[in-house]
Structures are given as structure tokens and as C-alpha cells.
Structure 1
């Protein structure tokens, strides 16, 4: 006996007839956002810091200092020794030469002012201090290196030089309270000022 086939229509509430099973949503691919700085930036910063360090090292190595022997006074690129003992002009020059220096040659008002201050700053023994100026002939003043005295860098006391035969050497007279304190004197025993180049290290 043949069996009957029964058909039934099933309806679901709230489901559209065209409902189709949806596949799970695909994961979005990560978008390639542009970087806010180039990949080489850290390398460039490191290089810059390295170059700054090199520049600082070079600057430190190239920096130099000028210095003078103990007991000497420093001014600009020179060193000055103010003695406390007495010698003739010739002995004074020999003594300075023995220390690698010479009697001072004063080339500017700034240098004269410096020596004036130094001689008045300390309680030194001497009244007169030889400088490297003298006359072979009366009134013909020359420095040790042979250069004639420049009138623009001459600091004579009032009424000096005397320009007389017994007085052919020049001193700084410390009891003169003006920067114009040179005096021509006999070349007998006085203190001295030696001058040398400052050592650069």
C-alpha cells in the first residue's frame, strides 16, 4: 500500500522570508597609517649627539691657558718679576737674562698702568725699579732691543728726564703717585722689573 506524503508550511515569526545565513564578518585588514617620523630619525639624533661630543672635545683640547712662574705677575701675554734686591743696571739685565727674561720694555699705557698698580699693591723694598730703557748718548733713549723710545708711550715724571751725563738709566719711581713715574738715574744699585713671555699650555 502506498504511503501518503504530507507537506507542511512552517513560518517563523520576525524572520524575513529571504533570510539568508550570513557568514561571519571578515576581520578588517590593518590599515597602513603613515608614520609620524622617518625610521632614520633615531639614527640621525644619535649622529648629531656624537658630532656635538666631538666638537666639545676638540674645543676643550684647543683651549689654552697662559701661566707664569711662581712669584711672577701675569698681564696679557707677559709675565713680570719685581725684585726686592739691589743691583746695577748691567747686573740687573744679566739677572733677568739668567731667568729667561729681560728688563721690562713698556709699549703701552695699559702696561704702564698695570706696573704702577702692581708696585703700589705690595709693600716692596725698593723705591726705584729699573726698566729696559737707557741712553748710550745723553738724551738718546733706546730700549734693550734697540728700538728708540716712542713719545706716545713715554711716562716721565714732571721735569724728567734730566738728560745729564751721569744719568743714563731709567727707573720707575714708586713714590710718585702718578702713572707718569719714570726717572733717569745713575746706573748704580736699584731694584728691577724683569719681563718674559707667558707660557701657553
Structure 2
């Protein structure tokens, strides 16, 4: 005789619903790809970095040229255009106290640079340079640089070679030949010093 089986659905109060179980899908294994660059490339990069470092050491070893605040640099020199006036002797003493001397102009390029800088100056017309007459017509630079006729920038008709005009100024004139011998009264000045290496 066959027995009957009865199934019943039973619900319990406060029972939590059955949590759904997630079965992780099978992950694809990462394949290992061989390097796509040649094995000598890291060595080449290291060599290039070493060369860059050597170049920087050489450049930094030489240093940079710089000037004190308020001075203008041209090539290996610094120039200071004064804002006050003094006579020639006081001007030279003032430059010396700053570790410089009144400017000694050696080349056309330097003369051109100073002429252009003075065009921007709102000050007076005359600036002392480091050239004086030790005796009538015997011109001498303050740093004992020999007086070179071919590197002189006198205005037309100058120097007048008069005993009372023993000092030299550069005019704020756009023409490159702008020196004038004058009496050694109060004028502005240009000091020159070697540029600092840092």
C-alpha cells in the first residue's frame, strides 16, 4: 500500500529572508607579456642621465654672472649710474667704496651699451667716466689701462685740451661719440666692477 506524502509551507515570524549567494564568476588569469623594449634601453637611459648630470656640474662649476641690485650687467662687468652728483675725486672715492672704479671704456660695444643705457636715464646730461688729464693733453684711465686713440669716443671738436678741463664725462646723447672734457665740478658718475660669479 502506498502512503501519501504531504508537503506544507511553513512561514516563521521575524525570520530573515534567505540571502542570495553570489557565485563568483571565473576570473581570467592575467597573461605575462614579455618586455616590449630592448634590454639595452635602461642602460642607454642611465648613460644619458649621467651625461646630463655631468653637464650640469660643469655649468654650475663655472657659475652665473650677476650684479648687485641696481647695477646693470654687460658681458663680464657691472655698471652703476649714480642718482646723486659729486666732483670727480669724490666720484672716484664713492666708486672705490663700493668695490669698483669710475668706468673704463675699452670697446665700441661697451660704449654703445653705456650710450643706450644713458638714453633711459631721467637724470642729468653728464656722467663722469674714469678718464682724466694728468697734464694738458695727457689722458690717463683710473685703472692704468693705456690710453688708446682708436678706442676713444670724443664729441666733434673734443677734447678741447684746456688746462681747466681735466675731467671727462659721457653725455646722454644718442650719438656714440659723446665724450667731453670739462671742469671737475659736480656731475653724475658711472661706476664699473667685475660681475660676481655665483
TM-score, structure 1 normalization: 0.75
Greater CA radius of gyration, 1 or 2? 1
Partner of 1:197: 194
Partner of 1:141: 139
Partner of 2:50: 54
Unaligned regions of 5+ residues in structure 2, if any? 1-37
| C-alpha contact 2:154 2:178 (8 A) present in aligned 1 | yes
Deviations for 1:90-129, whole angstroms, at most 9, x for unmatched residues? Answer: 1111111111111100000000000000000232x22110
> Over aligned residues, Cα RMSD in angstroms?
1.3
| Cα distance, 1:184 vs structure 2 | 0.4
Deviations for 1:129-170, whole angstroms, at most 9, x for unmatched residues? Answer: 000111110101111122332111100001100101111111
Partner of 1:16: none
Distance between the aligned counterparts of 1:177 and 1:100, measured in 2?
29
Distance between the aligned counterparts of 2:53 and 2:163, measured in 1?
60
* Helix, strand or coil at the partner of 2:140: strand
TM-score, structure 2 normalization: 0.76
The runs of 4+ residues in structure 1 deviating greater than 4 Å are: none
| C-alpha contact 1:105 1:144 (8 A) present in aligned 2 | yes
How many residues align structurally? Answer: 158
Partner of 2:171: 173
| C-alpha contact 1:172 1:183 (8 A) present in aligned 2 | yes
Unaligned regions of 5+ residues in structure 1, if any? 1-40
